[in-house]
Amino acid sequence: MHSKTLLASLLAPAAVSAVLNDLAVRAGLKYFGTALGESAVSSDATYASIVSDNTEFGQLVPENGMKWESTERTQGVFTFASGDISANQAKKNGQGLRCHTLVWHSQLPSWVSSATWTVDALTAVMEAHITNVMGHYKGQCYSWDVVNEAVGDDGNWRSSVFLTTFNGTDYIPLAFNLAKAADPDTKLYFNDYNLEYNGAKTDRAVELVKLVQAAGAPIDGVGFQGHLIVGSTPGRSSIATALQRFTALGVEVAFTELDIRHGSLPAPASAYVTQGDDYANVVGGCLDTPNCIGVTVWGFTDKYSWIPGTFSGQGDALLYDADFNRKAAWTSVSSVLAAKATPAPASTTSSAPGCGSTFATVTVTVTATVSASQDPTTSTSSAPAATQSHYGQCGGIGYTGPSNCGSYTCKVQNDWYSQCL
């Protein structure tokens, strides 16, 4: 069923110009995804149509709908209407789902954050929350952010009702154990920001993974949120180095909330080019890291972003502008993905996101004749003149495959990628 859905969407006219997830999958990632704004998707038709396109975004994460204040604002009363918006969208559109988040000091209702608890009482509260929320979404989440932002900006453990009550970090392995019991088949993540700089905060996050592992608790992944600033974003190899400190511990990594903001607005035109370079470095660092499994942007349009409300005068951090035009940053991301993407072979099985807890493998059959020059194991000398298939690559820097699209037209998507449309 999902194969048919995906195939239909690949063949639908609306899909032809949207490529980020397609390119990401062909470059070896599981997905390119976005946070979904729960109110924008129901009030803005343009937003809804882009966020529903699984060739552009193969994975969704609710921006707010699954947080504690959304799901259990009153103790013992669970509401899933807001979280279900993303889950239902993902299901309907054949997209994967990251689920966010369970144990976090922020967006925590005051009945949790302001009370004084014993360890036993707070353990029971955590267990009820994790069991109910994960139980509701069981089988739907590729991953859950079990613990969010447990490290402070200075590299010390972040102060919270959890750290205070447990008089230390025991709440962290506890949360992972509770999560495993609630849904054994989802990936369990620690998620935090500013890990990209490889400083004291990154050191502490490495320690966190080790302490969970040493406690015998399960941890599958670390999310690099990636809330970064134009011109101050680390370079590609530095990003890869930071990511690889975690993959060396046996966990996967992903960018989970990527946005790169201008420090002041209006920004000069040159800053939008720099922003594109910064995005390319982040995505490139992930591509350079085996076991960096995907990239999720924290929204896709500057029309809706948390940044101006938090950092006054800053913003324009996303891939589409406020009028839904693709920015230089979109082209940079698509280019860096396309540079690593393998050309579509004659008949291929490609990994694409599915509706369940994993990214399903679907078979996409295309009718391309693959030229010998596309296959590094084959001599090019006797290659027949080839025709690329509908939606296949037909040009771009470094591309050596067929440029003839037969009855279709080869259209330039960016410097690195032209496509038969």
Q: Which residues are catalytic?
A: 257
Residue from the set 38, 53, 63, 302 that interacts with ligand 9MR by CB under 6 A: 63
**Binding letters toward ligand 9MR, positions 13-52, x by CB under 6 A:** ----------------------------------------
Q: Which two tokens stand for residue 387?
A: 């025709």
Q: State how far the Cα of 197 lies from the Cα of 274, in Å rounded to an integer.
A: 18
Residue from the set 165, 225, 275, 393 that interacts with ligand 9MR by CB under 6 A: 225
CA angle 236, 276, 238 (to 5 degrees): 15
Separation in Å, CA 279 to CA 10, 285, 336, 350: 26, 10, 9, 25
For residue 104, the minimal CB distance to ligand 9MR (Å) is 7
Q: Helix H segments across 44-95?
A: 45-51, 68-71, 81-93
When the beta carbons of 255 and 306 are compared against ligand 9MR, the nearer one is: 306
Pick out residues in 382-421 that bind ligand 9MR (CB under 6 A).
none
Q: State how far the Cα of 52 lies from the Cα of 324, in Å rounded to an integer.
A: 14
Pick out residues in 318-337 that bind ligand 9MR (CB under 6 A).
none
Query: Beta strands 292-297 and 347-351: pairing type?
Result: unpaired
- When asked if residue 194 is in the footprint of ligand 9MR (CB under 6 A), the reply is no
When the beta carbons of 114 and 270 are compared against ligand 9MR, the nearer one is: 114
Q: Which two tokens stand for residue 141?
A: 């989440």
Coil, strand, or helix at residue 52? coil
Taking CB atoms, the residue at the shortest distance from ligand 9MR is 306
- When asked if residue 64 is in the footprint of ligand 9MR (CB under 6 A), the reply is yes
- When asked if residue 257 is in the footprint of ligand 9MR (CB under 6 A), the reply is yes
Question: Residue 158 corresponds to which amino acid?
Answer: R
**Binding letters toward ligand 9MR, positions 87-106, x by CB under 6 A:** -------------------x
| Cα 164 from chain centre | 31
Quote the DSSP letter at residue 171.
Answer: H
Residue from the set 42, 43, 107, 347 that interacts with ligand 9MR by CB under 6 A: 107
For ligand 9MR, the binding residues (CB under 6 A) are: 63-64, 106-107, 225, 257, 306
